[in-house]
Structure 1
């Protein structure tokens, strides 16, 4: 289960933000931001990376304006950082979180 939300942009695309359990052995959680044509496609992008149990129910934690800007300027349109260090940590490309064996 994940907490998150979305924002619809003026061009019709969406930015989805999810707080997920970290796949690392140290635990914690990560904030993942995805830019896509629609919400379903954003979740599909994450599921294709091996994050199978990703769902968006409601809009309790929509992306902040800073998160929207960060993902729009990233070439992949898919970024993450640890949730606990959100104020000081830089955004990372998704390939730094998901093992390459999952990405194919």
Structure 2
């Protein structure tokens, strides 16, 4: 993992941001994943339950920006992704639900 970080919100929950290699492989580059959860451990557990087993948060080198926090808080799943920024270039891509990255169905029983 290249970078990651978190921020604690006023209500006690956290937003965790992680830069991960693309799960689709190939030359697709990396992705930036945002997770809103009760605490850091639960955020990482949510990702591991989706099949991203080797996800760890070491340090706070790349915490979520205020815009990223807003994006994940306004998403009903509290779990979004987009292509990771490449060398400081601005990203003009919209945030997407995690099921679009992993190919999981929209509604699971």
What residue is the counterpart of 1:43 in the other structure?
Answer: 44
What is the aligned length? Answer: 103
What residue is the counterpart of 1:95 in the other structure?
Answer: 99
When the two structures are superposed, what TM-score results if normalisation uses the length of structure 2? 0.87
In 2, are the aligned partners of 1:2 and 1:55 still within 8 Å (CA)? no
Residue pairs, 1:4-83, within 5 angstroms: 4-24=4-24, 25-83=26-84
SS of 2:58 mapped into structure 1: coil
Which region of structure 1 is more displaced relative to structure 2, 33-42 or 77-86? Answer: 77-86
CA-atom RMSD in angstroms:
1.8
In 2, are the aligned partners of 1:13 and 1:35 still within 8 Å (CA)? yes
Gaps in structure 2 of 5+ consecutive residues? none
Gaps in structure 1 of 5+ consecutive residues? none
SS of 2:34 mapped into structure 1: strand
In 2, are the aligned partners of 1:2 and 1:56 still within 8 Å (CA)? no
The answer to which structure, 1 or 2, has the higher relative contact order (CA under 8 A, 6+ apart) is: 1
SS of 1:100 mapped into structure 2: coil
In 1: Cα distance, 2:85 partner to 2:33 partner: 13
Q: How many Å apart are 1:100 and its aligned residue?
A: 2.1
Q: How many Å apart are 1:3 and its aligned residue?
A: 1.6
SS of 1:97 mapped into structure 2: helix
